Structure 1
Amino acid sequence: MNAADYARYDAVGLADLVARGAVSPGEVLDAALAALDAHNPVLNAVVMRHEDEARAAIAAGLPAGRFRGVPFLLKDLDLALAGTPLTQGSELFRGFVPDRDSTLVARYKAAGLVIFGKTNSAELGLSFTTEPAAYGPTRHPRDPALSPGGSSGGAAAAVASGMVPMAHGTDGGGSIRQPAALTGLFGLKPSRGRTPAGPEASEVFFGLSVSHALTRSVRDSAALLDATCGHEPGALHWLPDPAVPFERCAERDPPPLRIAVQRRPFNGAPVDPLCLSALDEAARLCESFGHRLEEDAPDLAGIAAHAGLLSGAFTAERILGFAAMRGIADPLALIEPAHADHVRAAMARPAQDVVAALAAVRTVERRYARFFERHDILMSPVCATPVLPLGWLSGPDGEERSRRAAAHAPFTAPCNAAGIPAMSVPFAQGGRLVGVQFAAALGREDLLFGLAGAIERARPWWAP
């Protein structure tokens, strides 16, 4: 299998080739490693190479799962692959090697995926750009002066450049959808509780963050979620298995839907005309499918933004607990200054503020639930700006950095607070692909996959 052959297939397509015996898992891995060698020196998307582990897994015999023999990359955040480093994109955690797999990694392996490396992540998942001091910036495959976004920017660059057809990502405020929107990929954030967070953790970012993947095709995302969703013993949040497999939902058009269109973000940030143009095209296409559209958005009046306090408090516990275990006297000195300031600010707040922040998040969840009693889908831009220059989010400190982040991607975080599924779908605009966000009620990934599949068939964004 040469590079051109490898790049023609999504993950389901590669798995079908392996299942037919047309190519071996080792040959597919060789093609993936060749693509990594060709693109990674410029992009810096992959920061750890686990070739020996991948070849050992193939030699031992791969499980007969849906993705047997398909190369895969983990984000260097949250998920543990036993015997390999997990640094969370930070110098603080460099040298930490977990001794057992995360539940989701075990499910990836059971699906037959061949994990051969880890992708670059923003330190501790705390930025919409991927420029950690520990590993340096990841660059956009289309323009090395641009960022592919964050915090799953390494995953986005790896998939968009053709190193892999899909890669693991996490999303605590938009970190799957925002890089997908910037790189022309499909990116779905599942519902809270759809994918497991354990066994070491019950939840991440107080349930705001979940794991899934960035993919080229809709069916890859759907089939991967089929393979990895399901109850985990001891889980704080979980959902019953879908009545119909998500992959099958992606293959058939959904029934007529009630779609709400949100053109302006809750924080009032201006939206670039290119992002609004993509939204308008998506609206016209959905109307042509027979769906009913109207402008509307959930009422979040009177609810202050509390996600920053929760991420700071969660991160404080993560780094201080690790430091105590390792005997590190000053862990804040080993993380990036802006993130250290973020943690200090959270630690200075009284406990009742954290409780109030959690209550506000649950209020957002209830208001979205009421909103989805009268609508099936909420459609908006993903980002308010269609490109992100390197350094624009990593350069400033303090309030300016937060202001820029809120101005760049103001539509995504409310979905994390609500715990609802949301996806970024690419639409061609001005010579580039621009992401449009679609969200649905808790547990209704079936509606999103059905709509995404219909859009992909009508306006394909990648050529097999």
Structure 2
Amino acid sequence: MNVDEYAGLDAVGVAALIRSGEVTAAEVEAVARRAIGAVNGDLNALTSPLFDPAPAADRSGPLAGVPFVVKDSGPFVRGMPFTLGSRAIRGAVAGTDHELMTRFRAAGLVALGQTTAPEWGLNFATESRRYGATRNPWDPHRGVGGSSGGAAALVAAGAVPFAHGNDGAGSLRVPASCCGLVGLKPGRGRTPSGPLAGEVGFGQVYEFGLTRTVRDCAALLDAVSGPVVGEKYAATPPARPFATAVRTDPGRLRVAVSTTAHTPVDRQVADAAVTAARLLEWIGHDVTEAAPAVAPDDVVEACLLTALSTGAAMLRAPARPNPDLLEAVSRVVLGETVSASLLDVAAGIDAQHRVTRAVGTFFTAHDLLVTPTMAQLPPSHGTLDYDAEGHTVRSWLRRIFEVGPFTAAFNVSGGPAISVPLAQSREGLPIGVQLVAAPGREDLLLQVAAQLEQAAPWRDRTPPIHADTRR
């Protein structure tokens, strides 16, 4: 196997070759290291040199030998340092595996490195002062989204078929849209939060990852989903494996489409969602225009809970961050967390409940919602300056929601949502379309995403910066 062959495979394809004996896991790892090295100089997507050796993984797992990378979003891999993209964190090392990493190991996935993220994950741009801007493989003058931006860049560039990430307001779906990937935010309780947390961001932050194909997304969800004893949330187990569900027809669905937001939406972006809805109508679904009756201010107020929980994490850290080393918005988050009252938290929880009820009511009359993932094409570097003075936490949330107004409501409400790379702009940039379903219906999202992938394939689209030198 050479780098060009490897870069064209998804995770399921790599695992199948290893199982067949056509290639060994060691050979795949060596090729993956070369592929990462071939593109990272252009992308700036890693926080540090690759792990050497890679953490041990179960060689009998269903995805044994498949390489991936983990996001620098906190203690995740036992014995490995982490920084959360901050100059204020030095010498922090994970004392244990995150439960999701334990499941990645059991599946046989091989972690090769750690990817960039914005400071404390509170941005839709991966441009921290500590690591600099991560560049988009489709256009290096544009960003990769955030906060799982380094992860998205490496998957899109063919360096790894899968990357770990998490999503607190759109942090998987926004990078998926910017980089032309499949980005699933699972529903609340579908993937684990422990062992160091029972919930993150008042239950509004979700762990999973980014892939290039829907079948990879389904296979990985099968490998890592399921309840953990003692965790606060547990999703209803699926009736059948997600990898099986993705190959089945979901039947005729009641599909709603909406392209409007409280902020202007780029015409090309809106047209991509409308085209997706027309495709679903052509497939045989019933399509109407509708959207949940969610107030944008309620989404901001509920997402304030995630920001305050981030500030609380700073305050509880073994060595409290030096404010002089934090970027401007992080300093504001820290200050507002210190001054927040129980009434502030109660107001956020009340807003969370209003959003959850509105979305829940919507899904009594509809099976699926189609929206753009973002309001814009991938923004140029510097569009979302996290180190800009003068923001409050609320004004910062409103600023990032001008770029991504469609995603955060579903972090708040707790149901699953997925971004799929259905379209490209006139400039050749990827455009994501978001699909949303009721709680517990990841299977439905994956089924419909697979229908769209078959009707309008995206797998052969590759960016100019790519490990496959033939493209």
- Normalised by the length of structure 1, the TM-score is 0.94
What is the CA–CA distance in structure 2 between the aligned matches of 1:422 and 1:372, rounded to whole Å? 13
Pick one of 378, 382, 404 that aligns with 1:387: 378
Which amino acid counterpart does residue 240 of structure 1 have in structure 2? T
* 3-state secondary structure, aligned to 2:136: coil
Structure 1 counterpart of 2:448: 451
1:350, distance to aligned residue in structure 2 (A) = 2.1
* 3-state secondary structure, aligned to 2:132: coil
What is the CA–CA distance in structure 1 between the aligned matches of 2:408 and 2:335, rounded to whole Å? 22
Matched, 1:40 2:40: yes
Structure 1 counterpart of 2:221: 225
Which amino acid counterpart does residue 454 of structure 2 have in structure 1? R
What is the CA–CA distance in structure 2 between the aligned matches of 1:255 and 1:79, rounded to whole Å? 42
Structure 1 counterpart of 2:140: 144
1:436, distance to aligned residue in structure 2 (A) = 0.6
Matched, 1:214 2:196: no
Question: Please, which moves more after superposition, 139-148 or 84-93?
Answer: 84-93
Pick one of 114, 130, 136 that aligns with 2:110: 114
Pick one of 370, 373, 377 that aligns with 2:364: 373
Kept in 1, the 8 Å contact 2:75–2:94? The answer is no
* 3-state secondary structure, aligned to 2:113: strand
What is the CA–CA distance in structure 2 between the aligned matches of 1:47 and 1:147, rounded to whole Å? 17
Kept in 1, the 8 Å contact 2:122–2:307? The answer is no
What is the CA–CA distance in structure 1 between the aligned matches of 2:362 and 2:390, rounded to whole Å? 34
* 3-state secondary structure, aligned to 1:82: coil
Pick one of 247, 262, 273 that aligns with 2:267: 273
Structure 1 354/73 Cα, relative in aligned 2: closer, same or farther at 3 Å? same
What is the CA–CA distance in structure 1 between the aligned matches of 2:228 and 2:375, rounded to whole Å? 36
**Which deviations, in whole Å up to 9, do the C-alpha atoms of 1:206-228 show, x marking residues without a partner?**
11110111100001111101110
Structure 2 counterpart of 1:310: 305
1:403, distance to aligned residue in structure 2 (A) = 4.3
What is the CA–CA distance in structure 1 between the aligned matches of 2:365 and 2:155, rounded to whole Å? 36
Structure 1 counterpart of 2:465: none
1:342, distance to aligned residue in structure 2 (A) = 2.7
1:48, distance to aligned residue in structure 2 (A) = 2.8
Structure 1 51/86 Cα, relative in aligned 2: closer, same or farther at 3 Å? closer
Structure 1 counterpart of 2:325: 334
Matched, 1:88 2:91: no
Kept in 1, the 8 Å contact 2:378–2:429? The answer is no
Identical aligned residues as a percent: 44
Please give the residue correspondences for 1:18-97 in structure 2 after superposition, counting only pairs within 5 Å. 18-54=18-54, 57=56, 62-97=58-93
What is the CA–CA distance in structure 2 between the aligned matches of 1:285 and 1:301, rounded to whole Å? 29
**Which deviations, in whole Å up to 9, do the C-alpha atoms of 1:313-368 show, x marking residues without a partner?**
1012101111xx33x4x632332122111331343232211112012112211221
Structure 2 counterpart of 1:320: 315
1:404, distance to aligned residue in structure 2 (A) = 3.5
What is the CA–CA distance in structure 1 between the aligned matches of 2:154 and 2:270, rounded to whole Å? 27
* 3-state secondary structure, aligned to 1:13: helix
Which amino acid counterpart does residue 296 of structure 1 have in structure 2? A
* 3-state secondary structure, aligned to 1:446: helix
Which amino acid counterpart does residue 113 of structure 2 have in structure 1? G
Structure 1 206/299 Cα, relative in aligned 2: closer, same or farther at 3 Å? same
* 3-state secondary structure, aligned to 1:15: helix
* 3-state secondary structure, aligned to 2:381: coil
**Which deviations, in whole Å up to 9, do the C-alpha atoms of 1:405-448 show, x marking residues without a partner?**
12111000001000110010112232332101110001100100
1:232, distance to aligned residue in structure 2 (A) = 0.7
What is the CA–CA distance in structure 1 between the aligned matches of 2:389 and 2:406, rounded to whole Å? 22
Matched, 1:345 2:336: yes
Please give the residue correspondences for 1:288-307 in structure 2 after superposition, counting only pairs within 5 Å. 288-301=282-295, 304=298, 305-307=300-302
Please give the residue correspondences for 1:221-260 in structure 2 after superposition, counting only pairs within 5 Å. 221-260=217-256
Structure 2 counterpart of 1:441: 438
Structure 1 82/50 Cα, relative in aligned 2: closer, same or farther at 3 Å? farther
**Which deviations, in whole Å up to 9, do the C-alpha atoms of 1:280-309 show, x marking residues without a partner?**
110110000110111111112496321342
1:50, distance to aligned residue in structure 2 (A) = 4.0
Which amino acid counterpart does residue 270 of structure 1 have in structure 2? P
Task: Please provide the CA RMSD for this pair.
Answer: 1.7
More helix by share: 1
Structure 1 427/378 Cα, relative in aligned 2: closer, same or farther at 3 Å? same
Structure 1 counterpart of 2:401: 406
Question: Please, which moves more after superposition, 279-288 or 351-360?
Answer: 351-360
Which amino acid counterpart does residue 9 of structure 1 have in structure 2? L
1:92, distance to aligned residue in structure 2 (A) = 2.5
Structure 1 counterpart of 2:412: 417
* Number of positions where the alignment pairs a residue of Structure 1 with one of Structure 2: 454
Unaligned runs of 5+ in 2: 462-471
Which amino acid counterpart does residue 357 of structure 2 have in structure 1? R
Which amino acid counterpart does residue 426 of structure 1 have in structure 2? P
**Which deviations, in whole Å up to 9, do the C-alpha atoms of 1:357-403 show, x marking residues without a partner?**
01211221122111111100011111110121011102644447544
Structure 2 counterpart of 1:162: 158
Kept in 2, the 8 Å contact 1:272–1:386? The answer is yes
* 3-state secondary structure, aligned to 1:162: coil
1:95, distance to aligned residue in structure 2 (A) = 1.1
1:311, distance to aligned residue in structure 2 (A) = 2.4
What is the CA–CA distance in structure 2 between the aligned matches of 1:398 and 1:186, rounded to whole Å? 35
What is the CA–CA distance in structure 1 between the aligned matches of 2:89 and 2:296, rounded to whole Å? 38
**Which deviations, in whole Å up to 9, do the C-alpha atoms of 1:101-133 show, x marking residues without a partner?**
111100000000000111101111100000111
* 3-state secondary structure, aligned to 2:114: strand
**Which deviations, in whole Å up to 9, do the C-alpha atoms of 1:245-284 show, x marking residues without a partner?**
111111223211101111212xx20100010110111011
* 3-state secondary structure, aligned to 1:181: helix
Kept in 1, the 8 Å contact 2:74–2:83? The answer is no
Which amino acid counterpart does residue 421 of structure 2 have in structure 1? P
What is the CA–CA distance in structure 2 between the aligned matches of 1:138 and 1:432, rounded to whole Å? 16
Kept in 1, the 8 Å contact 2:302–2:351? The answer is no
1:64, distance to aligned residue in structure 2 (A) = 1.1
